[in-house]
Structure 1
Amino acid sequence: MELSSKAQKIYSAIDKETTKLGDLRKIAIEIKKDHALAMELWSTKEFLPRQLAILIMDKKLLNQEVIDQLDNDIQKHEFDERNNLMDWLMANQLSKDKKIISLIESWENSPSKLQRRVFWYYQARLRWMGNTNQTNTEELLDLIEKNLMKEEPEVQWAMNYTAGQIGKWQEQYRDRCILIGEETGLYKDEMVAKNCVPSYLPKFIPIEVAKLKK
């Protein structure tokens, strides 16, 4: 796809070595919503232009078919980039529309590992945004206990993170969530940078709970 002059100008201004997320957000604020331009930037197949594209998409034009195509495109990126793009899409577009949220809630058994990741990450997001009065917590924990170690790494992280958020915010499930980490050993040997919270649930949950008490 040949870029329009407007898209080419924006594309040329993005430097993969120096452009930061904050820079992309500033550009997006100036552009506002422009779905056609978003699709042009998306067609470059490059990480940063696609991040910007997500910010200026029109969520009203996103449906399962369009999301599936975006998903297929994202799958072609390397591991960290594809997770970043799908999480970015969820946070900035998919979670902003009630109709799309209904789709997200149907993705638990999606054939797409990235859509399954979104299902779980959205459940975690509900809780860290303060919506802890959820009726499906027992069901989610049952599924995590049953399927966590069978899942793809992309989905495992989101399932584990959901258990972490449940354990952080809902005291009645805290011991059960810590036990999930102890029994699976998932992320037990993970090395994290200073001041970063480890993903291993027996460490993650106490650290996060301590923050709540400050």
Structure 2
Amino acid sequence: MAVVETTVAEVMAELAALEDPKVRAVNEKHGDDHGVNLGKLRALATRLKTQQELARQLWKTADSAARLVAILVSRPKAFERDELDVMLREARTPKVHDWLVNYVVKKSPHSEELRVAWFAAADPVVASAGWALTTERVAKRPEGLNLAGLLDVIEAEMKDAPDRLQWAMNHCLAQIGIEHAEHRARAIEIGERLEVLKDYPTPANCTSPFAPIWITEMVRRQRDK
């Protein structure tokens, strides 16, 4: 244990040395509370390699940069179901939340059980993780999902959902429209009527997150391949 604690101290010292006020200012605009360039953070994690106990100790620091490193050096399949549930509820900043879901939970044998539990959560941040996992299934393993039922929920609740939950529901809406031609017209119609993210500022070389545009563009790319 002493070795792990020393290693945690060393990692925290390296992260402190990488702190950049300009990076922090940009991150804070997006709700994140660290000032470490993600490329440099990834390089640190690559050097550390996979260390599950170190990952657990870094997570316990509650420091966002340390938790991002923890995610990258962890062994996703080594976490227990309840452990991941606690971690998700502790992950309140967007980047930590997103990385935990995408890099750890999606690779966990508990992902489906957690998807179902989180999808129905009263906490909108937790629910957004359930929607993210559902979107993954819409794209890769749609068997058993009630896509029409998902569209019913999106139609009824997305317009007034809190930001992060709304974003996750919108992604699911777009994914249904992109991947499932039989639901495409309805998905586009829901997006057009609700107008969620219609005016979202989008760089010229990026696809708008407004579902009708997103769906149409991705389907066009698939057809042009």
Deviation at 1:168, TM superposition (A): 0.8
Taking the TM superposition and a 5 Å limit, the aligned residue runs for 1:173-192 are 173-192=183-202
- Cα deviation code 1:163-192 (max 9, x no counterpart): 101111111111111111111111111111
- Greater mean deviation of Cα atoms: 177-186 or 23-32: 23-32
Alignment partner, residue 110 of structure 2: 99
Contact 1:132–1:169 under 8 Å retained in 2? no
1:116 to 117, 122, 127: 127
After superposition, the CA RMSD in angstroms is: 2.4
Alignment partner, residue 31 of structure 2: none
> Normalized per residue, which structure has more helix?
2
1:63 to 70, 81, 95: 81
Contact 1:16–1:48 under 8 Å retained in 2? no
2:19 to 16, 31, 34: 16
Alignment partner, residue 160 of structure 2: 150
CA 1:23–1:157: 2 relative to 1, 3 Å = same
Contact 2:134–2:172 under 8 Å retained in 1? yes
User: What one-letter code is carried by the residue in structure 2 that aligns with 1:113?
Assistant: P
Distance 2:120 2:160 in 1: 13
CA 1:127–1:171: 2 relative to 1, 3 Å = same
Distance 2:84 2:109 in 1: 15
Deviation at 1:131, TM superposition (A): 3.5
Contact 2:89–2:126 under 8 Å retained in 1? no
Gaps of 5+ in 2: 24-35
Taking the TM superposition and a 5 Å limit, the aligned residue runs for 1:164-203 are 164-203=174-213
Distance 1:13 1:23 in 2: 10
Partner SS for 2:203: coil
Determine whether 1:39 maps to 2:63: no
Alignment partner, residue 28 of structure 2: none
Alignment partner, residue 6 of structure 2: 5
Task: Count how many residue pairs are aligned between Structure 1 and Structure 2.
Answer: 205
Contact 1:51–1:85 under 8 Å retained in 2? yes
- Greater mean deviation of Cα atoms: 9-18 or 110-119: 9-18
Q: Using the aligned pairs only, state the percent identity.
A: 24
User: What one-letter code is carried by the residue in structure 1 that aligns with 2:145?
Assistant: T
Deviation at 1:133, TM superposition (A): 4.6
CA 1:51–1:134: 2 relative to 1, 3 Å = same
Contact 1:104–1:115 under 8 Å retained in 2? no
